[in-house]
Amino acid sequence: MATNGYEGVLKMIEELTTNAGQIQDEVLREILSRNAGTEYLRGFLHGQTEKQLFKKNVPIVTYEHLKPYIDRIANGETSDILLAEPITGFFLSSGTSGGQPKMTPVTSQVTKNCELFRGFYESPVIKHFGDINQAGKRMELMFARPEIETPSGLKAASVSTSIYKESKFRTILPKLYTSPIETIFCPDPNHGLYCQLLFGLIQRDEVVTIGSLFASTVLRGIKFLENHWQELCYDIKTGRLSDWITDSGCRNAASLVMKPNPEQADLIENICNCKSWEGIIRKLWPKARYIGCICTGVMRQYIAELEFYCRGLPLVSAFYACSEAICGINLEPLCKPYDVSYTFLPNMAYFEFLPVENDHDESIDMKKNDEDTELVDLVNVKAGQCYELVVTTCAGLYRYKVGDVLMVSGFYNNAPQFQFVERKNVILSVDQEKTSETDLSKAVTEAKALLDPLGFILTEYTSYVDTSSAPGHYVLFWEIKGKEGKHCKELDPKIMVECCSRMEESLHYTYKIYRKRNIIAALEIRVVKQGSFEALMDYYVSKGTSLSQYKKPSCIKSEEALKILDSRVIGKYFSPKSPL
C-alpha cells in the first residue's frame, strides 16, 4: 500500500471502531438476509431474519455440526444448502477433525475480505516503521502446501497457499519480497528454505523487514542458517547453487540472479563465524526495521529465543485471524510481544463471545456448560473477562465456536481489544498443529497396546513440548509397571522405540505432515521410575491443589513439575522415522 493510502485506511479503522455496534448489526442483517433460505438456516429461522430469533434459535456449534454440510458440498451437492453465495473452494485449517484437516468454504467475498485485511493490518505498521514497500524488500519465509482436490472438483488449500497462488501476489512478489515464487512452491521445504535464505542473504542490503506468518518459522530459519551458513557463503562466493538442491524451479530461479560475489560472502562469513549469535539478524540484515511474525498464543514460547537473535529489533505481531474468520489487528506494533492486543474489526464477521472462567489452572478444570451461558455481543464484552470466540460469517459459519479463548484488555473507540489466552482443548503444539487431550490419549492407547502382551502396564503418563532444540518435539513421560515381579528395566528398548513410532502414526494428519516436513522433530518417550507421578502429585498438593480435586495434568507447563519428572528418567527413546 502506498503511503498516501495508509492514512486513508487508518481513517477507515477510526470509523469502523467508532461505529462498531451498528456495523455488527449491519453485518448480521446482511448475512441473514442472504442466507436465511439455505437448508441449514431454514431449519432454525424458517426464512425469518430478525437478530432476536437468530440469537434464540440458531445453535452454537463446532465444526463437527457443520461437517456433514461441508462434506456434502465437497462431494458435489450445491453449496446453497449452507450458504447463498457460490463457493470458489475451501480453506484448509491447521485444526483437524477425525484426523483430517478442517475445511471451510471460500467465496469471492471471503477473498475480498482477505485483500482488505492486508491493508488494515499493514497500515499501523507503516505508520510506525515507514513505508516498507517503498524502502526495500521483505525477507519473508513462505511455504505453500499441497492442495487437496475434493470429489466435486473444488480445491482446498491453506489460507497462505491460497494467497501465494493469487495472480496479484505473484505480480508484487519480485518487487516487494526477496523470495522467488519457485522457492515458495518448492515441494521439499528444506530446499525451499535454503534458497529463501540464500536469496535473502544475496539481497541483504535491500532487506527492510524479516518475518514469516508465525514465530516458529522465523526461528526455524535462523537455526537452519546456523547449520548451513558456510555452505550458503560458498554458494554466494562461487555464484553456484549447492548440488543437493535438486528442485528445478529453485535452480532456475537461482541461475537468473546468482553470480560470484566473494566480497559479500566474506562479509557474511565474518558475521556468522562468531562465538555468539546474539543479535545475528541485525548484523546480517542491517537495514531491517522489525521482525514481522505472530508471537502470541502458542508462539509465546519462542519470544525469548527470537529476542536473543534479533536483539533490539521489534517483534511485530500484526494480526489475529483464522481460516474461519478474519478478526483483529494490532494497532500498537511497537508494544512488547507479551502484551499484544488485537482490536477487532466489526466489518469482517459477526462476533459473539461465550464467557469462560478466567482461571486456567492446569490441574483443575471446572468450566461451565456452554448451554447455561449467554453469548455477549462484540461491543458488550467486559474488560478483564475471558471469552471463547464465536463467529457468524458470510461463508456459511453460523454461531461457530472457533476454539480460541481471548481476554478483553481494553477498547479502541467502541471496539474491544483482546489478548490471545489459549486454544481451547489443545495441550500440545510445536507449530500450528493442534493436539488435544483426546488426540494424545488415543495415540497413547494405540502405543501401550504393544506393552500388554509383554507383561508390562503403562500406569501413568503426561506430556510436554520440548523446544530447547529446534525443531521442537513432543515428549511423553511414561511410568511403566512390570506384571508378576518384572522390572521395567527388562523392557526391550526396541519395543519402546516402536511405541514412539506407533504414537506418531496414531496422531492426526497435521502432526504427521509437519513431522514429515521436519517442522516437528521425533517424538520422545521418557520412562520414569516408579513413584514419579506420586512425587508430581505431592508437588501440586504442596502448591495448594486440594488432594481430592487433584487431576494429573495431561501436559506439564511448570518448570518445577518438569524437573520432578526429568530427575526420575531411567530411559529415553525416540521415534526412528517420520510417520508418513
333: contact with ligand AMP by CB under 6 A: no
Give least dist CB 139 to ligand AMP, A. Answer: 21
479: contact with ligand AMP by CB under 6 A: no
Binding window for ligand AMP (CB under 6 A); candidates: 46-54, 90-98, 357-365, 368-376: 90-98
Cell of 580: 508418513
DSSP state of 81: G
Cell of 257: 540472479
Mapping DSSP to helix (H, G, I), strand (E, B) and coil, where does residue 432 land?
coil
Give least dist CB 73 to ligand AMP, A. Answer: 19
DSSP state of 425: T
Residue of the chain from 185, 420, 511, 514 that contacts ligand AMP (CB under 6 A): 420
402: contact with ligand AMP by CB under 6 A: yes
Nearer CB in complex with ligand AMP: 204/517: 517
Give least dist CB 407 to ligand AMP, A. Answer: 12
Site string for ligand AMP, 425-464 (x = CB under 6 A): -------x--------------------------------
93: contact with ligand AMP by CB under 6 A: yes
Cβ–Cβ under 8 Å, residues 562 and 486: no
- What is the footprint of ligand AMP within residues 360-389 (CB under 6 A)? none
Give least dist CB 314 to ligand AMP, A. Answer: 16
- What is the footprint of ligand AMP within residues 295-314 (CB under 6 A)? 296-297
Residue of the chain from 183, 212, 216, 317 that contacts ligand AMP (CB under 6 A): 317
294: contact with ligand AMP by CB under 6 A: yes
Nearer CB in complex with ligand AMP: 229/412: 412
Q: Residue 378: which residues within 8 A CB-CB, separation 6 or more?
A: 20, 21, 24, 344, 346, 351, 352, 353, 415, 416
Q: What does DSSP say about strands 524-528 and 569-574: parallel, antiparallel, or unpaired?
A: antiparallel
Instruction: Give kind and range of the element (H or E) at residue 388.
Output: strand 386-392
376 - beta bridge partners?
Answer: 353
94: contact with ligand AMP by CB under 6 A: yes
Residue of the chain from 125, 281, 321, 496 that contacts ligand AMP (CB under 6 A): 321
- 10 Å CB burial of residue 23 (0-12, 13-18, 19+) is buried
Site string for ligand AMP, 130-159 (x = CB under 6 A): -----------------------------x
423: contact with ligand AMP by CB under 6 A: yes
Nearer CB in complex with ligand AMP: 118/423: 423
Give least dist CB 417 to ligand AMP, A. Answer: 13
DSSP state of 321: E
Q: Which amino acid is at 136?
A: G
**How far is the C-alpha of 149 from the C-alpha of 261, rounded, in Å?**
44
Give least dist CB 6 to ligand AMP, A. Answer: 21
**How far is the C-alpha of 98 from the C-alpha of 289, rounded, in Å?**
43
Helix, strand, coil % (nearest 5) of the chain?
45, 20, 35
DSSP state of 191: H
Cell of 66: 457443520
Residue of this chain nearest to ligand AMP (CB atom): 297
Give least dist CB 422 to ligand AMP, A. Answer: 9
472: contact with ligand AMP by CB under 6 A: no
Nearer CB in complex with ligand AMP: 148/569: 148
Select from 541, 537, 538, 500 the least CA-distant residue to 522.
Answer: 500
Cβ–Cβ under 8 Å, residues 363 and 351: no
527 - beta bridge partners?
Answer: 478, 571
Q: Residue 70: which residues within 8 A CB-CB, separation 6 or more?
A: 82, 90, 103, 104, 105, 396
* Chain contacts with ligand AMP (rule: CB under 6 A): 93-95, 159, 294, 296-297, 317, 320-323, 402, 404, 420, 423, 432
